[in-house]
Amino acid sequence: MTVPPPAPATRRFGRRAAGALPALVPLLFVGALFLAPLAALAKRAFDDADAVSLAEAWRRTEALDLLGVTVGMAAASAVLAVLVAAPIVWLVSTVDLPGMLAVRVLVTLPFVLPTVVVGVAFRALGTGLLDGFGLDSGLGAILLAHVFLNVAVVVRVVSAVWQQVDPQAVVAARTLGASPWRAFLDVVAPRLVPAVAAAAALVFLFCSTSFGVIVILGDGRVRTLETEIYQQGVGYFRIPEAVSLSFLQILLVVCALLLARLLGRSAPATSDRGGRRQRPRGWVWFAVFAVSAWTVLWLVVPIGSLVVRSLRPGGQWSTAGYRVLFDDASSVSIADSLRYSVSSAFAAMVIAVAVGLIAATVMTRRRDAVAKVGAALAILPLGVSAVTLGFGYVVLTTYLPREVGTSSLLIPAVQALIAIPVVIGMVVPALAEVPQRRRDAAAVLGAGPARVFWTVDLPMIGRSLGAAAGFAFVMAMGEFGATTFLAQAHTTTLPVLIGSLMGRPGADNLAAAMAASVLLVAVSAAVVFFVELAAPRGAQAAVGGRR
SS (H, E, C) 325-386: HCCCCCCCCHHHHHHHHHHHHHHHHHHHHHHHHHHHHHHHHCCCHHHHHHHHHHHHHHHCCH
pLDDT at residue 538, as a whole number: 47
Q: Residue 10: which residues within 8 A CB-CB, separation 6 or more? A: none
DSSP states of 74-87 as a string? HHHHHHHHHHHHHH
Give me the mean pLDDT over the 195-221 stretch.
87
pLDDT at residue 329, as a whole number: 53
Q: Which of 179-188, 309-318, 374-383, 449-458 has the lowest mean pLDDT?
A: 374-383
In angstroms, rounded to a whole number, what is the distance separating the alpha carbons of residues 226 and 219? 14
Q: Residue 480: which residues within 8 A CB-CB, separation 6 or more? A: 114, 115, 116, 211, 212, 386, 495, 496, 499, 547
* pLDDT tens figures, 260-304: 777 766 555 554 455 567 777 778 889 889 999 999 999 999 999
- Closest to 147 (Cα-Cα) out of 231, 65, 82: 82
In angstroms, rounded to a whole number, what is the distance separating the alpha carbons of residues 381 and 374? 13
Q: Are the beta carbons of 209 and 249 closer than 8 angstroms?
A: yes
More confidently predicted of 171 and 523: 523
- Closest to 93 (Cα-Cα) out of 261, 291, 364: 291
Please determine, for residue 126, whether its predicted confidence score (pLDDT) is greater than 50: yes
- Closest to 208 (Cα-Cα) out of 264, 274, 255, 268: 255
* pLDDT tens figures, 431-465: 878 888 888 888 888 877 778 788 888 888 888 88
pLDDT at residue 445, as a whole number: 80
Q: What class does CATH assign to 22-43+60-308+320-534?
A: mainly alpha
In angstroms, rounded to a whole number, what is the distance separating the alpha carbons of residues 446 and 462? 23
Indicate the pTM of the whole model.
0.82
pLDDT at residue 21, as a whole number: 64
Please determine, for residue 506, whether its predicted confidence score (pLDDT) is greater than 80: no
Residue 13: pLDDT band by 50, 70, 90 thresholds? very low
- Closest to 141 (Cα-Cα) out of 252, 231, 215: 215
Q: Which of 208-212, 353-357, 401-405 has the lowest mean pLDDT?
A: 401-405
- Closest to 528 (Cα-Cα) out of 150, 108, 118: 108
